[in-house]
Amino acid sequence: NVDLISKWPHVIKGKTFASHEINGQVEYAKLSCTGDGKLCLHYFSERKLPPDTCIIQTEDLMNSIRTSSLAFLELGIGNSTLGRMYIRLLPGTAETEQFKGLCTGELGKCYLNTNILRVKSKGNIQEHVLFGDYENNDGSGGKALFPGAGMWTGDYKIPWQEGVLEGLQFDGYSKAAQFYINTRNNPGNVVNPSLGRVEEGLQILTRAIEQFANIMDIRIIDCGIVLSYVLDCNNGHTKE
C-alpha cells in the first residue's frame, strides 16, 4: 500500500484524491478520515480538484480496496444530510463485489443520487426498504455490471435480523444491483440471498421512513468504502 502518513495533512484537509480511469475518462475519489478513525474512499467522479491536491493512483490502494468488506451509504433529503450507514458485506461473492463497485463508481455506474424506491410491509416484522436502481431510479432497472452478479450460486442464507441486506433473487441479471435493507427482526426466519448487514447507522434509515411522507425524496448523497485498515486521524498511524 501507498505510504499515506507523509500525505496525512492533505487527507485531513480533504485534499487527497485517488485517480482511476473509467471508460477512457480519468475520475477522482476523495479520501477522508472520520472522527472515529475510518479511512474512507468516496465515489469516483469527474471533478475539479482543489489547489495543492495530492493525487494517489488507485493501483497503490488496490489491496485495501479489494480486501475491504465495509461500505457506506450516506442518506439525505433536499439539501439536508440525514447520516451515514456502514454496511459489513459478506466475503467473496460476485454480488458483494458489485455492491462495492457501485459504491465507489469503479464500474462506471454508481449508487450516488439514487433514491429509496419503496418500503415493503411497512410497520410489521417483514418491513424492508428497497434501493439500488442506478439506471432508471424507479425500480425498473439496475442490471448486473459485475461478472456473475445476479446468479446467486452460493449459500447466502443468514438469520432475518434488522439491518440485513437482501438481494433480489428472482429478478436475476436485470435488477441485480437492487437490494433491500430489512428494518425489523423476524425471529425464526432467514434472508436468502443476503449481501451483508448494516453495522452502524440503521437508525438513520428507520427514522427517515417514519419522518418523511414521500420516501422517494430520500436519496444516497455520498457513498464509498472504508479501506481495510483504520487510522488514527491525529497522526496517520495504523491502529494494529
What does the pLDDT look like over 149-206, one tens digit per residue?
887 776 678 889 999 999 887 666 899 999 999 999 999 888 888 899 999 999 999 9
Confidence of residue 91 (pLDDT cuts 50, 70, 90): confident
- Segment among 7-11, 76-80, 112-116 with least mean pLDDT: 7-11
Could you tell me the residue ranges of all domains in the chain? 5-230
For 199-226, write each residue's pLDDT tens digit.
Answer: 999 999 999 999 999 999 999 999 999 9
Whole-number mean pLDDT of the chain? 88
| Residue 199: predicted pLDDT | 97
User: Which CATH code, of 3.30.70.360, 2.40.100.10, 3.40.720.10, 3.40.50.300, is assigned to 5-230?
Assistant: 2.40.100.10
Is the pLDDT confidence value at 240 over 90?
Answer: no
Mean pLDDT, rounded, for 116-131: 95
For 30-43, write each residue's pLDDT tens digit.
Answer: 999 888 889 899 99
CA-atom Rg of the chain in angstroms: 18
